[in-house]
Amino acid sequence: MSKPPPAEDVAAFRERFSEAVTEVREALGEVSCSVDPAYIVEVCGFLRDDPRFQFNLLSDLCGVDLGIDQEPRFEVVYNLNSLTKLHRLRLKVQLPGDEPTIPTVTTVWKTANWHERETFDMFGIIFEGHPDLRRILMPEEFQWHPLRKDYPVRGYDDF
Amino acid sequence: MGIENKIVNSLPEVLTTRLDWVVNWARKSSIWPATFGLACCAIEMMAITAPRHDVARFGAETFRASPRQADLMIVAGRVSKKMGPVLRRIYDQMPEPKWVIAMGVCASVGGIFDNYAILQGVDKIVPVDVYVPGCPPRPEGLIYSIMKLQQKIQTESIRNRPDSPIVLDEPALVGKEA
């Protein structure tokens, strides 16, 4: 059973990235950290390499559309897993509705490649520095991002 | 009356019949389906070849992975719009004569997937001969659709198949289309 890292380690992590980690929430035995998008690569690299955390697996990376009238509108969620420590941690990054852009974490975990392509395909979130940011699920000629709240469920007639 | 009576009387080992009937009988008795499993319906499609249901009783057990060797496409599952051109290409690669069964509500009309990603019925891209309702249809349902298709094949003519692309090449129809 995976647990969150010990509370003192999370506190030390928050101390070290005091300007990057804006909020730490614990609910239902899970810890979620809100992170400033500018620091995401640095924070992820630290969590992977630090011996207290060893988050060697990016379980999932996905997007959230919080609503067209929300600002910040988009969220990118990183679910980290440590196979050596059996720990889990969730990072959340909020992005503006207009041209949401965030640095890629493919340099930290290679598995982020396809996850970021899917998040780009579904939400139109741009991952800067991604080696191959193409659509992965929808056809290449598709023009929209279907999981955005303003996209109709049935799509448009011309597709 | 006529020549067949003379033949029957003088050559009792000879049978006479219509060419259409013989050709259709041969075609319907040896349908080779192409495997086109796209979703959960494919599990039921596989079940018809297994011993309990045994579609070999109806001569349609030889599933082929190559469309070049198949004459029936069982579209088993929902067709995404990205899969649409692929499905059409595989259909075009099948030699004539060929038939299509839309298995289940998804392949027939889109089913529960009334959304941007799923084709609302495979008949938008290929001509369908038999629609099988169900989600998924039971193997008996699919076997029944094959029997229905066999009845349909028996009524066809080798000169003019209704769904054949050859018909579309006739000048009158092409002119209407343009």
Q: pLDDT digit string (tens) for B129-177?
A: 999 988 899 999 899 999 989 988 888 887 766 554 433 344 444 444 4
Domain ranges of chain B: 2-177
Q: What are residue A30's phi and psi, to 5 degrees?
A: -125, 145
CA distance A124 to A22: 25
pTM over 0.95: no
Looking at CATH, the fold of the domain delimited by B2-177 is given as Rossmann fold (3.40.50)
Chain A CA closest to residue B115: A154
CA distance A69 to B160: 60
pLDDT in tens, B62-114: 898 899 999 999 999 999 988 888 898 999 899 888 899 999 999 988 889 98
Distance (Å) from the alpha carbon of A127 to chain B's nearest alpha carbon: 24
Average pLDDT of A68-91? 92
Can you give the pLDDT at residue B1? Answer: 57
Q: What are the structural domains, with CATH classification, of chain A? A: 7-103 (3.30.460.80)
pLDDT in tens, B29-74: 999 999 888 999 999 999 999 999 999 999 888 898 899 999 999 9
Can you give the pLDDT at residue B84? Answer: 87
Chain A contact for B117 (CB, 8 A cutoff): yes
A138, A145, A151, best to mutate vs chain B, most B CBs in 10 Å: A138
Query: Do you know the residue count of chain B?
Result: 178
Give bridge partners of residue B72 from the DSSP assignment. Answer: B33, B99
Radius of gyration of chain B (CA): 19
Contact check, Cβ <8 Å, B117/A159: no
Residue B122 has pLDDT above 60, yes or no: yes
pLDDT band at A115 (very low <50, low <70, confident <90, very high): very high
Q: Hey, is A117 helix, strand or coil?
A: helix
- Chain A residues lying within 8 Å of B114, measured CB to CB: 153-154
Rounded to two decimals, the ipTM of the complex is: 0.74
Can you give the pLDDT at residue B160? Answer: 65
Contact check, Cβ <8 Å, B117/A138: yes
